Structure formats: C-alpha cells, structure tokens
Amino acid sequence: MRIEVTINGERREAEVWAGESLLTTLRDRLELPGSKNACEQGECGSCSVLLDGELVCSCLVLAVQADAHEVVTVEGLGGDGALHAVQNAFADAGAVQCGFCTPGFVVAAADLLRRVPSPTDDEIREALSGNLCRCTGYQKILDAVHLAAAR
Ligand code: FES
Ligand code: FES
C-alpha cells in the first residue's frame, strides 16, 4: 500500500507492506538511516522520532499509521540542514562514544527541552529513561543536555 508522509518538512511517498514499521520505511525505503534499529521492541529508544510532535519509538509504529501525518527524524531536527542545539551540545560535551544510541538520545532530549527549557537532573533522567546507551556514557549525556539548555 502507498503512504504519503511529511518527513522533515518534505512530502514523501513510499510503498509499504501492511505490517511494516515506520523505522523500516525510514531506513530502508526513504534513505533516512539516522534512526537506529537496535531492539525493535520499544526497549532501547535508538529509533526515536517525533510523530505529529510526539516522541515515539518508530519500531513500534506501523508505517501506515504515519500516513498523512508528520514525522521529524534526527536528520531534520535542526531544520535547514543545520545542527540542532542538542546535537552541538552532544559533540561539545563529548557525549558520543560509538554513537549508535546518539540519534535517539538527541531526539528525546530535544523533545524534553521543547517542553522543559531548564530541566533538572531528575527531569532529564526521567525523560531519557527510555533510551539505552550500551557504552554507558550517561553522565556526559546528562552534561550535554544541561549545556544545550544553558545555551
Ligand atoms: S529499536 Fe525501537 S526501541 Fe529499540
Ligand atoms: S554511545 Fe555507544 S551505545 Fe551509546
């Protein structure tokens, strides 16, 4: 079946099968590999995107559910090809090790700062609790979110 989705501000079309996840469509059909596929069970957050402004695990959303809706991926977070403040802060704070979890953390952190511009440690930990970093560099991720908020 054919779906039409606004992704990062651009109308995109894709031919998908009924049980296909939005994550698969983004990565395998629309050349947007920023959202990562690690667990495909909603456990790790590496596939996080915004669907109509709401943070979701794209591995748990059917592609057909995104039909006629709006998706923002890590590639489009900054807008106009620029990096988002959270992306710059992750780089400056050294919050990236292997980087596999980073897109998911960045999308979740950007979503938090949109809702809570100056979050506390606890608010950051709560907001990022659905994201797992296998390299376990959590303190620097926390630092990066504070840095982005301060800027
Ligand atoms: S790949 Fe979606 S939550 Fe892990
Ligand atoms: S930086 Fe490697 S999984 Fe998080």
pLDDT tens string, the chain, 151 residues long: the values are 999 999 999 999 999 999 999 999 999 999 999 999 999 999 999 999 999 999 999 999 999 999 999 999 999 999 888 999 999 999 999 999 999 999 999 999 999 999 999 999 999 999 999 999 999 889 999 999 999 999 9
Ligand 1: residues within 6 Å at CB? 37-40, 42-47, 57, 59
CA distances from 123 to 18, 39, 42, 44, 130 (A): 37, 25, 21, 18, 13
pTM over cut 0.85: yes
Q: How far is ligand 1, taken at its centre, from the CA of residue 18, in Å?
A: 19
* 58 CB-near residues (< 8 Å, 6+ apart): 21, 22, 23, 26, 35, 47, 48, 49, 51, 71
Q: How far is ligand 1, taken at its centre, from the CA of residue 43, in Å?
A: 6
58 within 8 A of 21, measured Cβ to Cβ: yes
Residue with CA nearest ligand 2 atom 4: 133
56: part of which helix (H) or strand (E)? strand 54-57
88 within 8 A of 27, measured Cβ to Cβ: no
For residue 40, give the ligand nearest its CA. Answer: 1
